[in-house]
Protein backbone atom coordinates (compact mmCIF):
# COMPACT_ATOMS: atom_id res chain seq x y z
CA UNK A 1 0.00 0.00 0.00
CA UNK A 2 0.92 3.65 -0.35
CA UNK A 3 1.23 5.63 2.89
CA UNK A 4 1.34 9.36 3.62
CA UNK A 5 3.13 10.60 6.76
CA UNK A 6 2.21 14.15 7.79
CA UNK A 7 4.95 16.19 9.45
CA UNK A 8 8.60 17.18 9.24
CA UNK A 9 10.33 16.40 12.54
CA UNK A 10 12.23 13.65 14.30
CA UNK A 11 9.01 11.88 15.23
CA UNK A 12 7.98 11.72 11.57
CA UNK A 13 11.42 10.43 10.54
CA UNK A 14 11.03 7.65 13.11
CA UNK A 15 7.48 6.90 11.92
CA UNK A 16 8.56 6.67 8.28
CA UNK A 17 11.55 4.51 9.27
CA UNK A 18 9.32 2.07 11.17
CA UNK A 19 6.51 2.03 8.58
CA UNK A 20 9.06 1.25 5.86
CA UNK A 21 9.88 -2.00 7.67
CA UNK A 22 6.37 -3.29 6.97
CA UNK A 23 6.13 -5.68 4.00
CA UNK A 24 2.79 -4.03 3.23
CA UNK A 25 4.37 -0.61 2.67
CA UNK A 26 5.14 -0.06 -1.01
CA UNK A 27 5.65 3.71 -1.16
CA UNK A 28 5.81 6.21 1.68
CA UNK A 29 5.31 9.91 1.08
CA UNK A 30 6.32 12.42 3.76
CA UNK A 31 4.67 15.82 3.73
CA UNK A 32 6.75 17.88 3.88
CA UNK A 33 9.33 15.59 5.47
CA UNK A 34 13.00 16.43 5.99
CA UNK A 35 16.36 15.18 4.68
CA UNK A 36 16.12 12.22 7.07
CA UNK A 37 12.75 11.03 5.81
CA UNK A 38 14.01 11.40 2.23
CA UNK A 39 16.76 8.89 3.01
CA UNK A 40 14.33 6.21 4.29
CA UNK A 41 13.86 3.17 2.06
CA UNK A 42 10.59 3.38 0.07
CA UNK A 43 10.12 7.03 1.13
CA UNK A 44 10.12 10.38 -0.64
CA UNK A 45 9.25 13.91 0.41
CA UNK A 46 6.39 15.90 -1.09
CA UNK A 47 5.97 19.66 -0.79
CA UNK A 48 2.51 19.80 0.77
CA UNK A 49 1.26 22.37 3.27
CA UNK A 50 0.04 20.40 6.31
CA UNK A 51 -2.65 23.06 6.84
CA UNK A 52 -4.08 22.69 3.32
CA UNK A 53 -6.36 19.71 3.85
CA UNK A 54 -7.95 19.89 0.42
CA UNK A 55 -4.56 19.78 -1.32
CA UNK A 56 -3.59 16.81 0.83
CA UNK A 57 -6.84 15.02 -0.06
CA UNK A 58 -6.22 15.63 -3.78
CA UNK A 59 -2.69 14.26 -3.48
CA UNK A 60 -4.00 11.16 -1.69
CA UNK A 61 -6.46 10.55 -4.52
CA UNK A 62 -3.77 10.99 -7.17
CA UNK A 63 -1.30 8.65 -5.44
CA UNK A 64 -3.82 6.05 -4.23
CA UNK A 65 -2.92 6.63 -0.58
CA UNK A 66 -4.44 3.92 1.60
CA UNK A 67 -3.18 5.08 5.00
CA UNK A 68 -2.48 8.57 6.36
CA UNK A 69 -0.42 8.75 9.56
CA UNK A 70 -0.49 12.20 11.16
CA UNK A 71 2.52 13.14 13.28
CA UNK A 72 2.13 16.66 14.74
CA UNK A 73 -0.58 18.04 17.01
CA UNK A 74 -1.31 21.23 15.05
CA UNK A 75 -3.08 19.60 12.06
CA UNK A 76 -4.86 17.13 14.35
CA UNK A 77 -6.23 19.92 16.52
CA UNK A 78 -7.22 21.79 13.35
CA UNK A 79 -9.28 18.81 12.14
CA UNK A 80 -7.16 17.08 9.51
CA UNK A 81 -8.55 13.65 10.42
CA UNK A 82 -12.14 14.84 9.95
CA UNK A 83 -11.35 16.57 6.66
CA UNK A 84 -9.55 13.58 5.13
CA UNK A 85 -12.09 11.05 6.37
CA UNK A 86 -14.77 13.12 4.63
CA UNK A 87 -12.91 12.24 1.41
CA UNK A 88 -13.07 8.53 2.27
CA UNK A 89 -9.46 8.31 3.44
CA UNK A 90 -8.18 6.07 6.23
CA UNK A 91 -6.50 8.26 8.83
CA UNK A 92 -4.51 7.27 11.90
CA UNK A 93 -5.14 10.11 14.32
CA UNK A 94 -7.98 11.48 16.45
CA UNK A 95 -10.82 13.67 15.23
CA UNK A 96 -10.77 17.38 16.07
CA UNK A 97 -13.17 16.97 18.98
CA UNK A 98 -10.98 14.29 20.55
CA UNK A 99 -7.72 16.16 19.82
CA UNK A 100 -8.92 18.91 22.18
CA UNK A 101 -7.36 16.75 24.90
CA UNK A 102 -4.08 18.41 23.82
CA UNK A 103 -5.38 21.51 22.05
CA UNK A 104 -6.92 22.96 25.22
CA UNK A 105 -5.42 22.37 28.64
CA UNK A 106 -8.60 23.77 30.20
CA UNK A 107 -10.67 21.16 28.33
CA UNK A 108 -8.23 18.43 29.38
CA UNK A 109 -8.34 19.39 33.05
CA UNK A 110 -12.14 19.60 33.06
CA UNK A 111 -12.29 16.20 31.33
CA UNK A 112 -9.96 14.61 33.87
CA UNK A 113 -11.94 16.04 36.76
CA UNK A 114 -15.19 14.74 35.26
CA UNK A 115 -13.70 11.26 34.71
CA UNK A 116 -11.95 11.10 38.11
CA UNK A 117 -8.52 10.77 36.44
CA UNK A 118 -5.80 11.73 38.96
CA UNK A 119 -4.14 15.04 38.13
CA UNK A 120 -3.03 18.28 39.79
CA UNK A 121 -5.56 20.66 41.33
CA UNK A 122 -6.07 23.64 39.02
CA UNK A 123 -7.96 26.78 38.04
CA UNK A 124 -8.19 28.53 34.66
CA UNK A 125 -8.25 32.26 33.99
CA UNK A 126 -8.91 34.72 31.18
CA UNK A 127 -8.17 37.82 33.30
CA UNK A 128 -4.67 38.73 34.43
CA UNK A 129 -5.74 40.20 37.75
CA UNK A 130 -7.72 37.12 38.78
CA UNK A 131 -4.78 34.88 37.85
CA UNK A 132 -2.40 37.01 39.93
CA UNK A 133 -4.74 36.90 42.94
CA UNK A 134 -4.98 33.10 42.70
CA UNK A 135 -1.20 32.73 42.54
CA UNK A 136 -0.69 34.95 45.60
CA UNK A 137 -3.29 32.94 47.50
CA UNK A 138 -1.85 29.55 46.54
CA UNK A 139 1.83 30.44 46.88
CA UNK A 140 4.77 28.69 45.19
CA UNK A 141 6.04 26.43 43.74
CA UNK A 142 3.20 26.50 41.22
CA UNK A 143 2.78 25.70 37.51
CA UNK A 144 1.51 28.13 34.84
CA UNK A 145 0.39 26.75 31.47
CA UNK A 146 -0.78 28.49 28.32
CA UNK A 147 -4.12 26.87 27.44
CA UNK A 148 -3.43 26.22 23.75
CA UNK A 149 -0.66 24.70 21.65
CA UNK A 150 2.77 26.21 22.29
CA UNK A 151 5.19 23.60 20.91
CA UNK A 152 6.05 22.36 24.39
CA UNK A 153 7.19 25.80 25.55
CA UNK A 154 4.02 27.20 27.17
CA UNK A 155 4.65 25.69 30.61
CA UNK A 156 6.47 27.38 33.50
CA UNK A 157 7.28 25.63 36.77
CA UNK A 158 7.58 28.72 38.97
CA UNK A 159 9.55 28.38 42.18
CA UNK A 160 8.34 31.73 43.54
CA UNK A 161 5.27 33.94 43.20
CA UNK A 162 7.01 36.61 41.13
CA UNK A 163 8.11 34.06 38.55
CA UNK A 164 4.56 32.70 38.32
CA UNK A 165 3.09 36.17 37.81
CA UNK A 166 5.79 36.84 35.22
CA UNK A 167 4.73 33.68 33.35
CA UNK A 168 1.11 34.90 33.35
CA UNK A 169 2.22 38.27 31.93
CA UNK A 170 4.35 36.54 29.30
CA UNK A 171 1.39 34.46 28.12
CA UNK A 172 -1.51 36.90 28.50
CA UNK A 173 0.01 40.36 28.07
CA UNK A 174 3.16 39.80 26.00
CA UNK A 175 1.37 37.22 23.80
CA UNK A 176 4.54 35.08 23.76
CA UNK A 177 2.46 32.10 22.64
CA UNK A 178 -0.06 34.01 20.51
CA UNK A 179 -3.68 33.04 20.97
CA UNK A 180 -2.60 29.95 22.92
CA UNK A 181 -1.99 32.17 25.96
CA UNK A 182 -5.35 33.94 25.99
CA UNK A 183 -6.38 31.56 28.75
CA UNK A 184 -3.96 30.24 31.36
CA UNK A 185 -4.30 27.16 33.53
CA UNK A 186 -2.62 27.36 36.93
CA UNK A 187 -1.88 24.08 38.68
CA UNK A 188 -0.50 22.82 41.94
CA UNK A 189 3.11 21.71 41.76
CA UNK A 190 3.49 17.92 41.75
CA UNK A 191 6.71 16.40 43.12
CA UNK A 192 7.99 13.11 41.76
CA UNK A 193 9.57 11.54 38.69
CA UNK A 194 8.07 11.91 35.22
CA UNK A 195 7.20 9.10 32.83
CA UNK A 196 5.69 8.98 29.35
CA UNK A 197 3.08 6.35 28.49
CA UNK A 198 1.86 6.01 24.90
CA UNK A 199 -1.07 3.80 23.97
CA UNK A 200 -2.77 2.85 20.72
CA UNK A 201 -6.56 3.35 20.81
CA UNK A 202 -9.40 2.26 18.51
CA UNK A 203 -12.18 4.09 20.34
CA UNK A 204 -12.94 1.17 22.65
CA UNK A 205 -9.72 -0.77 23.28
CA UNK A 206 -6.24 0.48 24.17
CA UNK A 207 -2.87 -1.23 23.91
CA UNK A 208 0.01 0.24 25.91
CA UNK A 209 3.46 0.78 24.44
CA UNK A 210 6.70 0.40 26.39
CA UNK A 211 7.32 3.09 29.00
CA UNK A 212 9.78 5.92 28.40
CA UNK A 213 11.05 9.06 30.07
CA UNK A 214 11.60 12.43 28.41
CA UNK A 215 14.05 15.12 29.57
CA UNK A 216 12.30 18.46 29.04
CA UNK A 217 14.67 20.97 30.64
CA UNK A 218 17.43 22.25 28.39
CA UNK A 219 20.37 21.71 30.78
CA UNK A 220 21.74 18.80 32.83
CA UNK A 221 20.08 18.15 36.16
CA UNK A 222 16.71 19.34 34.81
CA UNK A 223 17.88 22.96 34.92
CA UNK A 224 16.82 25.79 32.65
CA UNK A 225 13.69 26.40 30.59
CA UNK A 226 11.48 23.64 29.20
CA UNK A 227 12.01 22.48 25.63
CA UNK A 228 10.22 20.10 23.31
CA UNK A 229 12.46 17.37 24.76
CA UNK A 230 16.25 16.97 25.00
CA UNK A 231 16.36 13.19 25.02
CA UNK A 232 14.59 10.06 26.16
CA UNK A 233 15.08 6.44 27.09
CA UNK A 234 12.95 3.29 27.20
CA UNK A 235 12.01 1.41 29.29
CA UNK A 236 11.62 3.69 32.32
CA UNK A 237 12.26 1.62 35.47
CA UNK A 238 10.14 4.03 37.53
CA UNK A 239 7.16 2.37 35.79
CA UNK A 240 7.03 -1.03 37.45
CA UNK A 241 4.56 -3.70 36.29
CA UNK A 242 2.42 -2.93 39.34
CA UNK A 243 2.45 0.79 38.55
CA UNK A 244 1.57 0.10 34.90
CA UNK A 245 -1.51 -1.79 36.10
CA UNK A 246 -2.57 1.30 38.08
CA UNK A 247 -1.96 3.54 35.06
CA UNK A 248 -4.11 1.28 32.90
CA UNK A 249 -6.89 1.10 35.49
CA UNK A 250 -6.91 4.65 36.86
CA UNK A 251 -5.89 6.69 33.79
CA UNK A 252 -6.09 4.97 30.40
CA UNK A 253 -9.33 3.01 30.87
CA UNK A 254 -11.23 6.06 32.23
CA UNK A 255 -9.77 8.16 29.41
CA UNK A 256 -11.01 5.84 26.65
CA UNK A 257 -14.42 5.41 28.29
CA UNK A 258 -14.72 9.13 29.00
CA UNK A 259 -14.06 9.99 25.37
CA UNK A 260 -16.71 7.50 24.26
CA UNK A 261 -19.18 8.93 26.76
CA UNK A 262 -18.46 12.42 25.42
CA UNK A 263 -19.32 11.29 21.89
CA UNK A 264 -15.71 11.54 20.70
CA UNK A 265 -14.31 7.98 20.52
CA UNK A 266 -10.53 8.30 20.53
CA UNK A 267 -8.70 6.70 17.58
CA UNK A 268 -4.93 7.02 17.31
CA UNK A 269 -2.15 7.40 19.87
CA UNK A 270 -2.81 8.88 23.27
CA UNK A 271 0.24 10.15 25.12
CA UNK A 272 -0.07 10.41 28.89
CA UNK A 273 2.65 12.52 30.45
CA UNK A 274 2.71 11.39 34.07
CA UNK A 275 4.20 12.43 37.37
CA UNK A 276 4.88 9.45 39.61
CA UNK A 277 4.15 10.91 43.04
CA UNK A 278 4.23 9.42 46.51
CA UNK A 279 0.51 8.68 46.18
CA UNK A 280 0.74 7.17 42.70
CA UNK A 281 0.59 8.23 39.03
CA UNK A 282 -1.01 11.59 38.19
CA UNK A 283 -1.46 13.13 34.75
CA UNK A 284 0.67 16.17 33.90
CA UNK A 285 -0.75 16.37 30.36
CA UNK A 286 -2.40 14.37 27.61
CA UNK A 287 -1.12 14.69 24.04
CA UNK A 288 -3.06 13.58 20.97
CA UNK A 289 -0.10 12.09 19.08
CA UNK A 290 3.20 10.26 19.34
CA UNK A 291 5.67 12.00 21.65
CA UNK A 292 8.89 13.55 20.42
CA UNK A 293 11.54 12.31 21.31
CA UNK A 294 9.72 9.37 22.95
CA UNK A 295 8.79 7.97 19.53
CA UNK A 296 12.48 7.68 18.69
CA UNK A 297 13.08 5.31 21.64
CA UNK A 298 9.80 3.36 21.70
CA UNK A 299 9.37 2.53 18.00
CA UNK A 300 12.83 0.92 17.65
CA UNK A 301 11.78 -1.49 20.43
CA UNK A 302 8.35 -2.26 18.93
CA UNK A 303 8.13 -5.72 17.40
CA UNK A 304 5.64 -6.45 14.65
CA UNK A 305 4.09 -4.43 11.87
CA UNK A 306 3.21 -0.79 12.62
CA UNK A 307 0.98 -0.65 9.52
CA UNK A 308 -1.15 -3.49 10.85
CA UNK A 309 -1.41 -1.89 14.30
CA UNK A 310 -2.52 1.44 12.82
CA UNK A 311 -5.08 -0.30 10.62
CA UNK A 312 -6.46 -2.19 13.63
CA UNK A 313 -6.99 1.15 15.37
CA UNK A 314 -8.87 2.50 12.35
CA UNK A 315 -10.94 -0.69 11.95
CA UNK A 316 -11.82 -1.05 15.63
CA UNK A 317 -10.07 -4.43 15.88
CA UNK A 318 -7.29 -3.51 18.31
CA UNK A 319 -8.61 -6.13 20.73
CA UNK A 320 -7.14 -8.71 18.33
CA UNK A 321 -3.63 -7.19 18.58
CA UNK A 322 -1.00 -7.86 21.25
CA UNK A 323 2.05 -5.60 21.34
CA UNK A 324 5.56 -6.89 22.02
CA UNK A 325 8.81 -5.00 22.58
CA UNK A 326 12.48 -5.93 22.41
CA UNK A 327 14.06 -6.54 25.80
CA UNK A 328 16.98 -4.22 25.05
CA UNK A 329 16.93 -0.57 26.02
CA UNK A 330 16.82 2.40 23.66
CA UNK A 331 18.32 5.85 24.32
CA UNK A 332 18.03 9.07 22.29
CA UNK A 333 20.17 12.14 22.85
CA UNK A 334 18.91 15.33 21.19
CA UNK A 335 21.54 17.58 19.64
CA UNK A 336 20.17 21.13 19.61
CA UNK A 337 21.23 24.49 18.19
CA UNK A 338 22.89 26.89 20.60
CA UNK A 339 20.34 29.28 22.09
CA UNK A 340 17.44 26.81 21.93
CA UNK A 341 14.69 27.04 23.20
CA UNK A 342 15.21 30.75 22.59
CA UNK A 343 16.53 32.23 19.35
CA UNK A 344 19.09 30.14 17.51
CA UNK A 345 21.22 30.31 14.34
CA UNK A 346 20.44 28.27 11.23
CA UNK A 347 22.44 27.03 8.27
CA UNK A 348 25.36 25.46 10.11
CA UNK A 349 26.95 22.50 8.37
CA UNK A 350 26.37 19.04 9.85
CA UNK A 351 28.90 16.22 9.46
CA UNK A 352 29.48 12.75 10.88
CA UNK A 353 26.03 11.17 10.66
CA UNK A 354 27.22 8.36 8.38
CA UNK A 355 30.11 7.60 10.76
CA UNK A 356 27.70 7.46 13.70
CA UNK A 357 25.25 5.18 11.90
CA UNK A 358 28.06 2.82 10.86
CA UNK A 359 27.96 1.49 14.43
CA UNK A 360 25.52 -1.32 15.26
CA UNK A 361 22.19 -0.25 16.72
CA UNK A 362 22.64 3.46 15.95
CA UNK A 363 20.03 5.54 14.11
CA UNK A 364 20.15 9.32 13.73
CA UNK A 365 16.69 10.84 13.35
CA UNK A 366 16.50 14.27 11.71
CA UNK A 367 14.38 16.95 13.39
CA UNK A 368 15.61 20.37 12.27
CA UNK A 369 17.79 19.82 9.20
CA UNK A 370 17.79 21.04 5.61
CA UNK A 371 19.84 20.62 2.44
CA UNK A 372 21.54 23.73 1.07
CA UNK A 373 23.50 23.24 -2.17
CA UNK A 374 23.86 19.57 -1.28
CA UNK A 375 25.17 20.27 2.23
CA UNK A 376 23.19 19.10 5.25
CA UNK A 377 22.68 22.08 7.58
CA UNK A 378 20.80 22.99 10.74
CA UNK A 379 17.35 24.52 10.31
CA UNK A 380 15.67 24.12 13.70
CA UNK A 381 16.15 24.24 17.44
CA UNK A 382 16.23 20.50 17.95
CA UNK A 383 18.43 19.30 15.10
CA UNK A 384 18.99 15.55 15.53
CA UNK A 385 18.09 12.69 17.86
CA UNK A 386 21.04 10.31 18.06
CA UNK A 387 19.58 6.96 19.08
CA UNK A 388 21.15 3.73 20.33
CA UNK A 389 19.16 0.54 20.81
CA UNK A 390 19.75 -3.00 22.04
CA UNK A 391 21.49 -4.25 25.15
CA UNK A 392 21.39 -3.20 28.79
CA UNK A 393 20.69 0.43 29.62
CA UNK A 394 24.21 1.42 30.84
CA UNK A 395 25.81 0.09 27.64
CA UNK A 396 23.11 1.68 25.48
CA UNK A 397 23.68 5.08 27.09
CA UNK A 398 27.42 4.74 26.47
CA UNK A 399 26.92 3.84 22.80
CA UNK A 400 24.49 6.74 22.30
CA UNK A 401 27.04 9.25 23.54
CA UNK A 402 29.83 7.64 21.50
CA UNK A 403 27.63 8.20 18.44
CA UNK A 404 26.93 11.80 19.49
CA UNK A 405 30.70 12.37 19.55
CA UNK A 406 30.83 11.41 15.85
CA UNK A 407 28.34 14.12 14.81
CA UNK A 408 29.39 17.75 14.50
CA UNK A 409 27.91 21.18 13.85
CA UNK A 410 28.95 24.54 15.24
CA UNK A 411 27.33 25.38 18.56
CA UNK A 412 25.81 21.93 19.08
CA UNK A 413 24.30 21.58 22.54
CA UNK A 414 23.11 18.40 24.24
CA UNK A 415 22.49 17.13 27.74
CA UNK A 416 25.09 14.72 29.11
CA UNK A 417 22.81 13.06 31.67
CA UNK A 418 20.16 11.30 29.59
CA UNK A 419 19.13 8.13 31.41
CA UNK A 420 20.89 8.87 34.70
CA UNK A 421 17.65 8.69 36.70
CA UNK A 422 17.13 5.18 35.39
CA UNK A 423 20.67 4.13 36.32
CA UNK A 424 20.08 5.27 39.91
CA UNK A 425 17.00 3.04 40.06
CA UNK A 426 18.86 0.10 38.58
What domains sit in the chain, N to C, each tagged with a CATH number? 2-93 (3.40.50.20), 127-182 (3.30.1490), 193-325 (3.30.470.20), 330-425 (3.90.600.10)
Residue 233's pLDDT is 98
Confidence of residue 23 (pLDDT cuts 50, 70, 90): very high
**Nearest residue to 283 (alpha-carbon basis) of 107, 109, 103:** 109
* Sheet arrangement for strand 206-208: 206-208, 193-202, 267-277, 280-287
**Nearest residue to 407 (alpha-carbon basis) of 426, 425, 390, 384:** 384
Residue 225's pLDDT is 86
What is the mean pLDDT of the segment spanning 28-56? Answer: 97
What is the mean pLDDT of the segment spanning 92-102? Answer: 97
Compute how many other C-beta atoms are within 10 angstroms of the C-beta atom of residue 92: 26
Compute how many other C-beta atoms are within 10 angstroms of the C-beta atom of residue 54: 10
Question: How much of the chain, in percent, has pLDDT values that exceed 90?
Answer: 94
The b-or-e profile of 311-350 (16+ CB within 10 A means b, else e) is bbbbeeebeebeeebeebbbbbbbbbbbebbeebeeebeb
Residue 58's pLDDT is 98
Cβ 294 vs Cβ 12: under 8 Å: no
What is the mean pLDDT of the segment spanning 366-384? Answer: 97
Residue 152's pLDDT is 65
Q: What is the DSSP letter of 341?
A: T
Q: 105-114 and 96-103 helices cross at what angle (nearest 10)? A: 100
Residue 261's pLDDT is 97
Residue 155's pLDDT is 87
What separation, in Å, do the N-terminal and C-terminal C-alpha atoms of the chain show?
A: 43
pLDDT in tens, 402-412: 999 999 999 99
What's the whole-number average pLDDT of the chain? 96
Sequence-distant (6+) residues with CB within 8 A of 22 are: 305, 306, 307, 308
Confidence of residue 171 (pLDDT cuts 50, 70, 90): very high
Confidence of residue 150 (pLDDT cuts 50, 70, 90): confident
Is the entire prediction scored with pTM above 0.85? yes
Sign of CA pseudo-dihedral 343, 10, 207, 389: negative
Indicate whether 235 pLDDT > 70: yes
SS3 287: strand
Amino acid sequence: MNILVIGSGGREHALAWKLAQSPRAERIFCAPGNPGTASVSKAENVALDVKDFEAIAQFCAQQDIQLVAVGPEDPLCAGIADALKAHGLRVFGPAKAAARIEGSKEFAKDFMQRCSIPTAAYASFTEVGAAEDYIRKQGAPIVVKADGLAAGKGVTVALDVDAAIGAVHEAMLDKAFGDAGGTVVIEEFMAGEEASILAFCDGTTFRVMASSQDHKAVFDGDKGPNTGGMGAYSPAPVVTPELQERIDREILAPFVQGMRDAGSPYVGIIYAGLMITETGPRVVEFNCRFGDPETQVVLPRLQGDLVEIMEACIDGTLDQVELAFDAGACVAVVMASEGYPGGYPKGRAITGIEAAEANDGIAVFHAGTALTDGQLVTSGGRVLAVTASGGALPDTIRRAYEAVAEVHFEGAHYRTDIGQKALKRL
